Structures are given as structure tokens and as C-alpha cells.
Chains A and B, each alone.
Chain A
Amino acid sequence: MGFKKYLARKTGVYLITFLFAVTLNWLRPRLMPGNPIEAMLSSNLGLAPGEKEVLMKYYSQLYGLDKPLWEQFVNFWVSLFHGNLGYSILYKAPVTDLIKHALPYDVVILLPAIALSWLVGNWLGAIAGKNKRYDRYTMPLFYFLASMPYFWFAMLLVYFVGVRAGWLPYQGAYAPDLIPSFSGDFIASFLKHWILPFLSLFIVMIGSWAIGMRNMIIYELEADYVRYLEALGGSEKLLTKHAYRNAILPQVTGLALQLGLMVAGAIATEIVFNYPGIGILIMNAALSQDYFLLQGAFLMVVISVLAANFIIDLIYAFIDPRVRTSYTEG
């Protein structure tokens, strides 16, 4: 299988997933009981019955809900490609703008947390897999970490580090009296506010990576090729090196599979820290039934996760010798 073919197949699968997700997103309000417009209007009290009907009609026309379904579907796609995700009733701003402002905060927390926890977790897990005595003490700890809800660990950090010790700020992404800019003050404040949310994700994530790596190393160290190498007199370092190389591959796949859970964790964690990312938007939108914002945030999360999965697939193709040789030699 050539690399192009591999790429084409993967792209195809992700395109179908994307189409499916967007269609689902479009379909849901139409399938669910209740009428969002009615819900929106019922919050505006003091409407006479006649006024309400007129307003209903007006909004239905405004949102194109009086057109046939297929036309609504086409319109939905057209506006999606124009970057138009609707208007947030809650924030009184276009959804696209809101997401544009929130997304950077998610990226600066999630990306380093995922990447660093992956590296550190794999490293710790590999040591545990190799060393039985160390394993005995660390394994229960890893399982405890992996069992912890992200947001609860975040609460513990806020309470012990932020409130009790008073070492670090724990609310928002920067001090409330600052305006985002590239000044030294702002960057310092931003970094201080960044530490706790980052740590809460980073530390909990280490647990599951370490567990995965430990199990893989134990499995690989008992594989025939390692036994053979051992019989040939290979040093322990050499054995581990080969075992590690094989064990790391499933961990890359694991990265893709865990992304969804991590996003969920990040959403809840942002709420604890009042960190102005997509998570806060989603919560506020869900609680005040701001459907446009909710759908926009959903799309954003799905697109990001799909893109991340796609990138991981590409990386996997490069690092797995079996996939690599199959397209460089073929």
C-alpha cells in the first residue's frame, strides 16, 4: 500500500466522520422534543399571545425554519463554510467570534498537558514495567491517579495550593485588572494563572499513560524476540530499548483514543478554574440553552479532535516500521 493510498483512505474516513458529525449536529434540534425558539421566547416575559405568534413566525423566517428540510440542510452547510455559526443569545455576539477568543486558552492548556504527560507517563511506566520493586509502590498510585476525575483533582489543587497555601492564583486566565496584551505584566500574570490548570490535567493524565506503558513493557519483555536477544547475551539496556520501541507504538494509538476523554476532562477543569476556554462556553450555553453556541462549540471540539486524530495517524505511519516499509518499498 502506497503512502498516498494510506493518506487517501484515512482522509476519506475522517471526511465521512466529519459529515456524520455535522449532520448529527444539524439533525439533533430537529429530532429532540421541544422547540428552541419557543424556549427562547418564553424567557421574554410579558408577551401577549398574539405577539408571541408573530415573533415565532419572525424568528422561524429569520432562521430559515419555514423552508423544506433539504433546503435547511444545504443552507446549514453554506453558512458553515462561510464561518457563520449563528448568533449567541447569551453573550450577544457571533458564535464564531466567541470561539475564536476561547480556543487559544484551550490550546495553551491542553497541548502541553497532553504532550508532556505522554512523555513523562511513558517514561515512568517503562521504569515500572522493568523494575518490580518500584512497580509495587508506584502501580497503585498510577491507578489512583488514573481513576481521579480531572475536575476533582483540580478542586484539590485549588483548595490546597491556591486557597490554603495561597501560592498561586486559581481564578481566570489573568488578573482581572489587566487587558490582554504582549506586556511583561500580562505575560507574567498569564503564566501564573496557567500553572494550576495545566498541572491538574498533566498529573492526572500521567497515571493512565504510565499504566499503559507498564503493561506493554511487561508484555514485550516476555516476547520471543527479547528472550532470544537475552539468550544471545544482549545487555539489559539493549533489551529494554527494543521492548520500549515496540511498546511505544500502541501508546501513540492510545493518544488518539484518549483524546475524547481528555477533552471532557478539560471542559470540567476549566469550570473549576473559571478559565475562559471552550469549556466555560459549553457550560454557560448548556445551562442557558443557547443552542447556537452549543452547536458551534460542539463542531469546534469535533473538528479539533478529528484533526488531532488525523495528525496522530500520520505520525503513526511514519514511526511504525511496518507501515513505513510498506509504502517506501512498495
Chain B
Amino acid sequence: MPRRSRMDTVKIAFRNRKFQFGFGLLMFFVLFALIGPLFTPFAWDGLYYEKVGKIELASYSGRHLPPMSHEEIYTYTGKKVEVLHILGTDIQGKDVYAQLVYGLRTSLWIAVLAAVIGTILGVTIGFVAGYKGGWIDEILMMVVNIMLVIPAIVLLILVAAYLSARSPEIQAIIIGLTGWPWVARAVRSQTLSLKNREFVSLARLAGQSDSKIIFGEIMPNMVSYVFMAGILQFSGAILASATLDFIGLGPTTMVSLGNILQKAIAYNALQFGWWWWFIPPGVIITLIITALFFVNLGMEEVFNPRLRRGGE
């Protein structure tokens, strides 16, 4: 019975226009990140690698080219390769399209990881606070309120600045560790309202154990809520990681969307008018966050019919 109704919810969600739009856009970018590299011969750093024996050697011309320009590259072994720069090259002659695709991968990976960490932490803490109540609630909520007031970005900058080598995973962890208070607060209030419903009281009267009540009665009613909180975490993480990268505290081992923008600013791409270097990464960040907004809106309407406006 509950399984069927859950499937129904998914069906309703996919009939919602806002959800369709947001989900479609999001999937487009995920797909792009997955298969985008197939359309370019360049590696993640925008260089052309040639296998010579056991090692790979990078070769590039160093020329600065606009989008859709063809170029002939001479490799180390003297071969001539004709390549297409779909989005042109940056100031060092590295392919922008390749950096963009792999940067999108990194950014999505960081955001997913950070969202999972933040959501799990937030749900656990919010749930414990709401369910246990009393002094545990008081203390946990005090911590939550403190974390909410201290601007996360400064915390992120401080932590990131102390780490000289940063992998995408490290960035995801520090973003996740600062993002959870929002989830915790929302989940706590949801738990508080669920805790005193009839079906929970009934389960308690029937002598069910705490864990059975939590996972059997309360959690199924919070799945949608947790999912939506997770989506907000995801978009927050995309923005946070882009901002961090832009300040120059991004992953040192990988290219990311914010990273490309930072380099564009550092090499005065704006003043020279190399729009292909800084417009695409920003468009992608903005559209991903817009897509997530719409997914969330659609889901809100599915779970809360009061919000649906006539005809939509």
C-alpha cells in the first residue's frame, strides 16, 4: 500500500510542469557532464595529450582563439593534428570547452557530495532535537542558531585557507559541514509536528520501540521533506563552491566552474572581451540553480496542493 502511493507521488511530480522543466534542465546538464568529453579530443586541463610509450605528453599551441576555430597542433613526435576548439581557448591556448565539461563534472560531484553530507547531518541533528526534546533539543538548537548567524562563507574561507592542497572531496566536506543547520531547523519543526499526530501516538500505545516508530511511522512521512531539503543543499553547495573557487580557494587538483571564472578574471578576460571564457561557466551555474529551484517548486506543489495555482 505505501509503496503504491509513493509511486503515485512520483507520477504526479512528473506531470507537474515546473518539475518537468527543472528536472529536464538538470538532467541535461548531468548528461552533458557525462558525455560532453566525447566531443573534444582535449583532456580535463584543456591540453592535448599524446601517448608516447608509457607516458603522456601535453602539447598545445598557446594561441588564443575564439569559439569554433580549427587549429593544427604539432605534437611532440612531430605529428600534425587538426583539432576543433568548440568554445575557443583561454589565454594559455587551453581548450575552454574541455575545461568547462570537466569543470561541470567536478562542480556537480562536489555539490552532490556536500548535499549528502549536509542533509544527513541536518536530518540526524534536527530529528534527534525534535524527537528527544528537553535539554538535548535546547543545546542542539543553540548550536544550530549560532551556526546560522555566522556567515558560512567566511568559515569556509578560513578553513580552506589553512589547507594548502585541496581535493574536490575536501571542499565538499567543508561545505557540507557548514550547510546542515538549515536542514536541521526544518527537520526539527517537521518532527515536532509529526511526533504528536494520532498515528504516532497509536504506535507508541501499541508498545512499538523507538526505532520502529522512527523508521516505520515518522520517516516515511518525512521523505519528501528531506528530499527537498537535500535539493536546497545541493544548490547552496553549487553556489558556495563556485564562490570559494572564485576567491581562489577551490580544488587545487581539478578544474571547476568557479575555477575557470577565477582564471578569467585574473587574466583580464573581461577587459579583452574574451566572452567565451567567462560567459558559459556562469550560464551553467545559473541554469543549474534555476533548475533546482523549479524542481523544488514542483515538488512543493505536489506535496502541498494548496500552493497549486488554478490550471497549473
Q: Is the beta-carbon distance between B161 and A20 smaller than 8 angstroms?
A: no
Give bound CA distance, A263 to B151, whole Å. Answer: 7
Q: Is the beta-carbon distance between B161 and A294 smaller than 8 angstroms?
A: yes
Q: Is the beta-carbon distance between A159 and B275 smaller than 8 angstroms?
A: yes
Tell me if B202 is interfacial: C-beta within 8 Å of chain A. Answer: no
Instruction: Report which of B154, B282, B307 forms a contact with A152, defined as CB distance below 8 A.
Output: B282
Q: How large is the interface on A (under 10, 10 to 19, 20 to 34, 35 or more residues)?
A: 35 or more
Give bound CA distance, A257 to B306, whole Å. Answer: 25
What's the least CB distance linking A79 to chain B, in Å?
19
Tell me if A144 is interfacial: C-beta within 8 Å of chain B. Answer: yes
Tell me if A243 is interfacial: C-beta within 8 Å of chain B. Answer: no
Q: Is the beta-carbon distance between B242 and A286 smaller than 8 angstroms?
A: no
Q: Is the beta-carbon distance between A148 and B286 smaller than 8 angstroms?
A: yes
Contact residues, A124-144 vs B (CB, 8 A): 132, 143-144
What's the least CB distance linking B37 to chain A, in Å?
24
Give the residue name and chain of the B residue nearest to A20 (CB).
B146
Give bound CA distance, A218 to B153, whole Å. Answer: 32
Which residues of chain B are near A257, meaning CB under 8 Å? 148
What's the least CB distance linking A19 to chain B, in Å?
10
A306 in contact with B149 given A143-B294, A151-B243, A152-B261 (CB within 8 Å): yes
**Quick check: which of A27-35, A93-101, A234-242, A314-322 contacts chain B, the rest being far away?**
A27-35
Tell me if B293 is interfacial: C-beta within 8 Å of chain A. Answer: yes
Instruction: Report which of A33, A162, A264, A295 forms a contact with B243, defined as CB distance below 8 A.
Output: A264
Give bound CA distance, A32 to B282, whole Å. Answer: 33
Tell me if A111 is interfacial: C-beta within 8 Å of chain B. Answer: no
Q: How large is the interface on B (under 10, 10 to 19, 20 to 34, 35 or more residues)?
A: 35 or more
Give the residue name and chain of the B residue nearest to A25 (CB).
B158
Q: Is the beta-carbon distance between B293 and A143 smaller than 8 angstroms?
A: yes
Tell me if B289 is interfacial: C-beta within 8 Å of chain A. Answer: yes
Q: Is the beta-carbon distance between B270 and A29 smaller than 8 angstroms?
A: no
A298 in contact with B249 given A16-B142, A289-B161, A309-B149 (CB within 8 Å): no
When each residue 258-292 of chain B gets 1 if its CB lies under 8 Å from chain A and 0 otherwise, what string results?
00010011000011010100110110011111100
Q: Is the beta-carbon distance between B273 and A282 smaller than 8 angstroms?
A: no
What's the least CB distance linking B214 to chain A, in Å?
29
Tell me if A103 is interfacial: C-beta within 8 Å of chain B. Answer: no
List the 5 closest A-B pairs by CB distance, nearest first: A264-B153, A260-B151, A152-B282, A147-B289, A286-B161
